[in-house]
């Protein structure tokens, strides 16, 4: 099997690549990434450096949003069996400041890749969607058929992606699986995300920002569990279109998260409180019964264990991550 992973030098993409190369010796991976400057290129290069010597791995530096399907096809030496599309411009808050950039990267980028799949007869397409599409919705835990009320341009682009996938599934016979990720964390996590920022600040003795009163909560999902869900979607063959939550099925408040990080690091946090920010939702909480049924998804990593893995990774690579 030949798997094309976009955003493969990022947090989730590199963890997925590692698992595939380690556990599926007959599989090949082509990674496409444009090293978006949202966070340092050096971190993404570090994420993939151990793969480069593997003959089953190939890296292509390309911005899919700026290149037509034919340009990507010209770079590939062999047919693709499955596309895992993780590449996206990330971040709820920055999307409010620059919504057009998110349309270009997340909507046009997906369109180009769907056109590639159609032209190259790729029949399996796994799309990284987001829990942010639910917006403000108090029907917890969230099921996939909930009313969707996104409150940020980023969330809007992810919802648009799900619907475009449905169009291509209906018109062109591409199996499209939209996986709604819920606050993924673990080794390799992006530096803009709370667990990474808080750990770094605590270790440096700097204050951490807490937006609101600390009661907001998230369904934190360990990256290893998310990767298992993605691999389940890669192998799924039953129906032509599905939207599936990949969460952990319990929530943790911001105050509880900070306490857990303090326990893992052995240091006290200095907290600075700020007003709640636009685009943030008060709570995320996934119903994962559909993922269990269709993908055999069974998240098993508890928060403290996942935070310990992240902390050990951060300390081992502290020089790179604190530049």
Which CATH number is 2-188+220-248+287-300 given?
3.40.50.720
Quick one: average pLDDT of 303-313?
Answer: 97
Kindly report, residue by residue over 28-66, the tens digit of the pLDDT.
999 999 999 989 999 999 999 999 999 999 999 999 999
Reported pTM: 0.96
Q: What is the pLDDT of residue 266?
A: 96
278 has pLDDT over 80 = no
Instruction: Give me the active site residues, please.
Output: 154
- pLDDT tens-digit readout, 189-228: 999 999 999 999 999 999 998 888 889 999 999 999 999 9
CA distance 132 to 158: 8
Average pLDDT, the chain: 95
Closest CA to 254 of 262, 243, 266, 242: 262
Give the C-alpha separation, 157 to 103, whole Å: 6
The three-state secondary structure class of 70 is helix
**More confident position, 276 or 141:** 141
CA distances from 98 to 14, 111, 152, 315 (A): 27, 20, 11, 34
Mean pLDDT on 227-252 = 97
Give the pair of three-digit tokens for residue 297.
Answer: 């998804």
Please report the pLDDT score of residue 212 as a whole number.
86
**Residues of the chain above pLDDT 90, percent:** 89
Q: Three-state DSSP class for 206?
A: coil
Report how far residue 152's alpha carbon sits from residue 133's, in angstroms, rounded to the nearest whole number. 9
97 pLDDT band (50/70/90 cuts)?
very high
Delimit the domains of the chain by residue range.
Answer: 2-188+220-248+287-300
């Amino acid at each position: 099997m030949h798997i094309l992973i976009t955003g493969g030098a990022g947090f989730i993409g590199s963890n997925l690549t590692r698992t595939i190369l380690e556990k599926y010796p007959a599989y090949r991976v082509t990674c496409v990434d444009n090293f978006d400057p949202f966070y340092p290129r050096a971190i993404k290069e570090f994420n993939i450096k151990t793969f480069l010597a593997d003959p089953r791995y190939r890296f292509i530096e390309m911005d899919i949003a700026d290149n037509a399907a034919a340009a990507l096809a010209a770079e590939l030496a062999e047919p693709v069996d499955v596309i895992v599309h993780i590449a996206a411009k990330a971040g709820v808050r920055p999307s409010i400041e620059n919504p057009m950039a998110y349309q270009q990267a997340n909507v046009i980028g997906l369109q180009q890749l769907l056109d590639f799949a159609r032209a190259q007869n790729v029949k399996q397409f796994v799309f990284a969607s987001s829990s942010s599409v639910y917006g403000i919705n108090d029907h917890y835990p969230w099921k996939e058929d909930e009313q969707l009320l996104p409150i940020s341009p980023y969330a809007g682009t992810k919802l648009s992606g799900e619907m475009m996938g449905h169009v291509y599934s209906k018109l062109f016979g591409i199996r499209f699986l939209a996986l709604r990720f819920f606050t993924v964390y673990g080794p390799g996590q992006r530096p803009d995300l709370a667990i990474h920022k808080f750990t770094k600040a605590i270790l440096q003795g700097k204050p951490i920002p807490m937006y609101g009163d600390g009661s907001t909560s998230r369904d934190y999902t360990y990256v290893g569990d998310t990767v298992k869900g993605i691999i389940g979607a890669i192998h799924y063959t039953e129906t032509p279109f599905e939207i599936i939550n990949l969460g952990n099925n319990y929530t943790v408040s911001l105050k509880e998260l900070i306490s857990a990080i303090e326990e893992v690091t052995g240091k006290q946090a200095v907290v600075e409180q700020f007003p709640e920010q636009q685009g943030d939702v008060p709570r995320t909480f996934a119903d994962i019964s559909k993922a269990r049924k269709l993908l055999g998804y069974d998240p098993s990593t508890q928060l403290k264990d996942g935070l310990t893995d992240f902390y050990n990774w951060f300390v081992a690579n502290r020089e790179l991550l604190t530049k």
